[in-house]
Amino acid sequence: MSRESTLIVGSYLSPYVRKVLVCLDLKGIEYLIDPLVPFYGKDAFTDVSPLRRVPVLIDDQGPQCDSTVICEYLEDRYPEPHIYPPGARQRARARWLEEFADTRMGEAFIWHLYNELIIRRYVWGETPDAGVIAQALTEEIPGIMDYLESGLPQAGYLFGEIGVADISIASFFRNAAFARHTVDAGRWPVTADFVARVLDHQSFSKLRVFEELSLRTPIHDHRKALAAAGAPVSPETYAGSAPRRGVLSV
């Protein structure tokens, strides 16, 4: 499949976009990316993403929204190599861990930490809510860490080869690092080792230069800077000039 036949709409800084990009790389599918910060989508963005969220995958079958839907679509259309484990029981477990990451971890790591410290400040020009951040750091994230510590493997990946469950979990820790939060290896050693191991996989590590560039570049300059750095930036964009709230309140 040619690179031009698959487009990903979404920022390198989104954990949900990161999940899809890693899965695409594992499956050897080339793509172009429209590195859209979702709040900056113009009207046409709503046509491909009714909730105005990223990622969106657009190929010869049309647009697909939501990272989980996209990953399952990729698995159905390009089954080798697998990103979901074999067997109903293991697949159900992998889907649950993906859901846990996308919802509970997303709520704590993204909306209550990364959103407060980075998005509110640099997109909306608002002051972070110290109470929300404190609750995330002292209550929500420790509870998540305790749960992960009891179920993650001490070596290797969750189901043999790296797959969507490993990818989903590790993606949120990358955003936590952007907000200067790291795993306490003394308290949660299994989780710390697991996260480091997964994020060190080449399908993750090759994205770092584009993530770090996006972090230090003004939003309106992302496309130009990323293209200059060698990112596969699309010639067209769904981005507009000013941010606006999405359909959902969070």
The pLDDT tens digits of the residues spanning 71-100 come to: 999 999 999 999 999 999 999 999 999 999
What integer pLDDT is reported at residue 242 of this predicted model?
87
State which fold the 88-201 domain adopts.
Glutathione S-transferase Yfyf (Class Pi); Chain A, domain 2 (1.20.1050)
What integer pLDDT is reported at residue 174 of this predicted model?
97
Q: Is the dihedral of CA 189, 191, 194, 199 positive or negative?
A: negative
State which H helix or E strand residue 58 sits in. Answer: strand 56-59
With a cut of 90, say whether residue 1 has pLDDT above it. no
3-class secondary-structure state, position 178:
helix
For the chain, give the mean pLDDT: 95
Domain regions of the chain by residue span: 3-82+204-228, 88-201
Residue type, 113: L
Q: What is the pLDDT of residues 27-48, one digit of tens each?
A: 999 999 999 998 999 999 999 9
With a cut of 70, say whether residue 231 has pLDDT above it. yes
**Cα separation of 68 and 84, whole Å?**
12
Q: Contact 12/207 with Cβ under 8 angstroms? A: yes
What integer pLDDT is reported at residue 3 of this predicted model?
45
Helices (H) and strands (E) in the chain, counts: 12, 4
Answer yes or no: CATH 3.40.30.10 is held by domain 3-82+204-228: yes
- For residue 94, the tally of other CB atoms under 10 A from its CB is 21
What integer pLDDT is reported at residue 250 of this predicted model?
38
With a cut of 60, say whether residue 248 has pLDDT above it. no
Q: What is the pLDDT of residues 136-184, one digit of tens each?
A: 999 999 999 999 999 999 999 999 999 999 999 999 999 999 999 999 9
**Cα separation of 162 and 160, whole Å?**
7
